[in-house]
Amino acid sequence: GESVGLHLPTLSVQEGDNSIINCAYSNSASDYFIWYKQESGKGPQFIIDIRSNMDKRQGQRVTVLLNKTVKHLSLQIAATQPGDSAVYFCAERTTGNQFYFGTGTSLTVIP
Amino acid sequence: GAVVSQHPSWVICKSGTSVKIECRSLDFQATTMFWYRQFPKQSLMLMATSNEGSKATYEQGVEKDKFLINHASLTLSTLTVTSAHPEDSSFYICSASRPGEQYFGPGTRLTVT
């Protein structure tokens, strides 16, 4: 399969601070990327996506940045809340229309 | 968003038995369904891709005779873990996709004793 990795396995932030979660992908031909949130014992939940022809996309409190030059993806969460505590995965879609997931980062928000 | 269900949500079985997990797209027709496996504190690993009416495509290292996938209709795919062993204990997650979108099921926890 493809290799998609994360730089930080765990991240702790104070409530109200901004969080940044990073992801490196390996397939330069991947055309679509998604960030997912997964709470314990549940399936992944879509957060935000970005296509390879974009370098930034904003949602509600979340922003995804894509740097194709260095094959790097990041998720920024503004004003992090306790409910944001979860594991976050990036996923890339390859030319075969398959999604490969990164290692995951466990985000803990400290009240 | 679209809803994907899995059944059962948790199954405990004895070593050597077979277990079937269902994945259903409840409000749309999925052209493709994917099966993933997730060990504790690890990422989702794609096991196979299945299109309705055709044989599944398995990822390298996944035994197709052990993990039988049937995609009988545009709303149902099943994964059967045959002759389960304790090392097959894992969280199995399906996703259903239509062009441009992918939706995940809640997952099925398999415990093999």
Please report which residue ranges of chain A form alpha helices under DSSP H: none
Nearest by CB to residue A46, choosing from B1, B93, B97, is B1
A97 and chain B in contact, CB less than 8 A: yes
Q: CB–CB of B49 and A98 under 8 A?
A: yes
Q: CB–CB of B106 and A42 under 8 A?
A: yes
Nearest by CB to residue A43, choosing from B43, B93, B97, is B93
Dihedral angle of Cα A10, A33, A65, A3, to the nearest 10 degrees? 50
Residue type, B6: Q
Q: CB–CB of B102 and A34 under 8 A?
A: yes
Each residue of B9-67: pLDDT tens digit?
999 999 999 999 999 999 889 889 999 999 888 889 999 999 888 889 999 999 999 99
CB environment B43-62: b (16+ within 10 A), e (fewer): bbbbbbbbebeeebbbbeeb
- Local structure of residue A41 (DSSP, 8 states): T
pLDDT for A39 beyond 50: yes
Q: Which two tokens stand for residue B1?
A: 């968003």
| Nearest-neighbour CA in chain B from A102: distance (Å) | 6
